[in-house]
Amino acid sequence: MFRKTVVDSLEELVKTGLNPKDVEAGINHTEFILKEEDFGTYPRGLMYGLEMMDTWLYDGNPLDHLKYSSAIQSIRDASSNRGFEALIERYLIQNTHCALVSASPDPSLAEKNDASLKDKLKRHKDSLDAEQLQALVEDTQNLEAYQSSEDSPEALATIPVLSLDEIGKKAKKLDVQEETIDGKKLLWHPLETNGVVHVRLFFDTRTLPQEELKYLALINKLLGQLSTEHLSDEALNQEIEIYTGGIGTSMESYDNVKVIDDYQSKFIVKGKAMGEKHR
């Protein structure tokens, strides 16, 4: 039944075609992942090197995995001519190299593994003579003592450190350009972002009466998650995926670095889009 459901669903997709907006949303989402190059805490250079290995190890061009723009455009061109439907037909429906694997849980697996490990350790212990057992006990005691002891001053002195004199006192100055559009101040930073435009709109919460501030937290959670006058919540999410890399809101407070106990509270609407879709 499971296999029939999967095959029938794939055949229906090939017959009726994929929703073009779903396809465009998926391509746009993938483009953002590639061009934003957000690898979290991993060094960007290291991750690029690992990606290059997928072709370099097999005598391919190591730069192929870094040429995102041309690859994305090729996918877009193919998708307009039923490219994804053709891939489903060729590699899934007509693929004879298919296996149906069923995995059943074993409620006693943990107990079996524990018993197997216990038996393995017992056999290893039985294979040791008294001298070897004593050496193993001493090694364990020495390890525990080493792990719980403090490092000596000589060992601590080998750790590289920076002195305060080696740390610059001046903060990095960002290139900030200022303009006025429709009477509103616009600050923009001319930085290299690989074609991604980041936008933040700051709304001063001091314009709200005190009794209405409590509703900001609710708006922060719901804005962008509910249907609108012209779009359902599903259609709205689809439009966001097609034209942006995500839209979100937040509430933030900014201290006045020159005046103690003075701050400004802002409600922020933030989003990002590729340059050609930014308007």
- Three-state SS annotation for 204-260: EHHHCCHHHHHHHHHHHHHCCCCCCCCCCHHHHHHHHHHHCCCEEEEEEEEECCCCC
Q: What is the DSSP letter of 38?
A: -
What's the pLDDT tens digit per position in 56-87? 999 999 888 788 888 888 999 999 889 999 99
pTM: 0.67
C-alpha 104/C-alpha 217 separation (Å) is 45
Strand duo 263-274 + 247-255: pairing: antiparallel
The answer to which of 28-32, 33-37, 44-48, 242-246 has the lowest mean pLDDT is: 33-37
- Looking at domain 2-93, what is its CATH homologous superfamily? Metalloenzyme, LuxS/M16 peptidase-like (3.30.830.10)
Q: Does residue 277 have a pLDDT over 70?
A: no
Architecture of domain 177-277: 2-Layer Sandwich (3.30)
What's the pLDDT tens digit per position in 118-170? 999 999 999 999 999 999 999 999 999 999 999 888 989 899 988 888 888 88
Enumerate the CATH 3.30.830.10 domain ranges in the chain, comma separated.
2-93, 177-277
Query: What is the rounded average pLDDT for all residues in the chain?
Result: 89
C-alpha 16/C-alpha 127 separation (Å) is 68
User: 266: closest CA among 251, 244, 245?
Assistant: 251
